[in-house]
C-alpha cells in the first residue's frame, strides 16, 4: 500500500475577495457603529458575503501583508415591515 499524505489547501494568510472589498466600502459608508446597523437588504449586500466577512473577522490566521482586518459583527433588531401584495379580487358584474 502506498503511503500518501494530503497537503492542506487552506490559506495561511487571509485576504478579501472583490465582493468583500465592495461590501466593506458600503459598510464603512452606511453602517459604522451599532447605532447605525443596517439589514442586508438595506445595505444591498448578500448574506453570504456578510457571513464571510464575519468569519474572517474572527479567524485566528493573520491577514496578508497590507490587508487590514475589518471587524464585522451582527445583532438582532426588530423592524416593522409593511408588505404590499397583488391579490385576485372577485365580484359579480
- Tell me the per-residue pLDDT of 41-90, one tens digit each, with 9 for 90 and over: 999 999 999 999 999 999 999 999 999 999 999 999 888 889 999 988 77
State yes or no: pLDDT of 11 exceeds 90.
no
Q: Is 42 a domain residue?
A: yes
The CA-atom distances, in angstroms, between 48 and each of 1, 5, 40, 53, 80 are 42, 32, 10, 9, 24
DSSP state of 65: T
Distances (CA, A) of 88 to 84, 85, 91, 92: 13, 10, 10, 14
The CA distance from 30 to 48, in Å, is 19
pTM for this predicted structure: 0.75
Q: Considering the domain boundaries, does residue 62 fall inside one?
A: yes
* Domain residue limits at 47: 12-77
Q: What is the pLDDT of residue 8?
A: 59
- Asked if residue 57 is part of any domain, the answer here is yes
Q: Which residue's C-alpha cell is 465582493?
A: 19
Amino acid at each position: 500500500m502506498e503511503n500518501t499524505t494530503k497537503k492542506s489547501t487552506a490559506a495561511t494568510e487571509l485576504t478579501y475577495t472583490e465582493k468583500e472589498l465592495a461590501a466593506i466600502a458600503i459598510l464603512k459608508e452606511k453602517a459604522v457603529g451599532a447605532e447605525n446597523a443596517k439589514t442586508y437588504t438595506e445595505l444591498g449586500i448578500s448574506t453570504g458575503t456578510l457571513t464571510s466577512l464575519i468569519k474572517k473577522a474572527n479567524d485566528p490566521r493573520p491577514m496578508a501583508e497590507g490587508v487590514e482586518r475589518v471587524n464585522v459583527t451582527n445583532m438582532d433588531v426588530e423592524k416593522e415591515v409593511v408588505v404590499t401584495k397583488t391579490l385576485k379580487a372577485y365580484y359579480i358584474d
